[in-house]
Amino acid sequence: MRKIVLTVLTVGFCFAGFSQEVEKTEQKPERIRLVKGGESKPVTSTTNVEKEKTPAQELKSCEVQLIALNKKEEYLRANAEEFKTATEAGWFKDAEKTRATLKKRIAELKLELKK
């Protein structure tokens, strides 16, 4: 019985010892290189993630954004607590600026599509 226990313990220690050696072969993480000003170096991608939109696609996108902005404003005005929070945060002022920018861009895109 004593020989069996000693054999099991010896085998167990061997497995534990060899398993720790395998973990040492891991690769080190890549270091971040800093550029002047303390900002990290921008990563250059090999694929162009954002493709240029056609005027028709951009027009549709602007219209969808305008509709979403209007829906959110309706929701905020219907809920008193949300309205108070949005007013304190200045959301309505920002929304008016965004709405004006979107309307201007929509008008420009409609003129461009008529040509």
Query: Which pLDDT score is estimated for 85?
Result: 93
Distances (CA, A) of 73 to 38, 70, 106: 39, 5, 20
Q: Please give the pLDDT value at position 52.
A: 81
- Residue 106 forms part of a structural domain: yes
According to the model, what pLDDT value does residue 35 have?
62
Q: State the pLDDT at residue 55.
A: 85
33 lies in some domain = no
On whether residue 14 sits in a domain, the answer given is no
In a domain, 87, yes or no: yes
Output the pLDDT for position 12.
74
Q: Per-block average pLDDT, block size 10, for the chain (115 residues)?
A: 81 66 62 63 59 86 94 93 92 93 93 86
Task: Quote the domain boundaries for residue 109.
Answer: 55-114
Answer yes or no: are the C-beta atoms of 106 and 66 closer than 8 Å. yes
Count of structural domains, the chain: 1
Would you say residue 4 lies in a domain? no
pLDDT in the model for residue 87 = 93
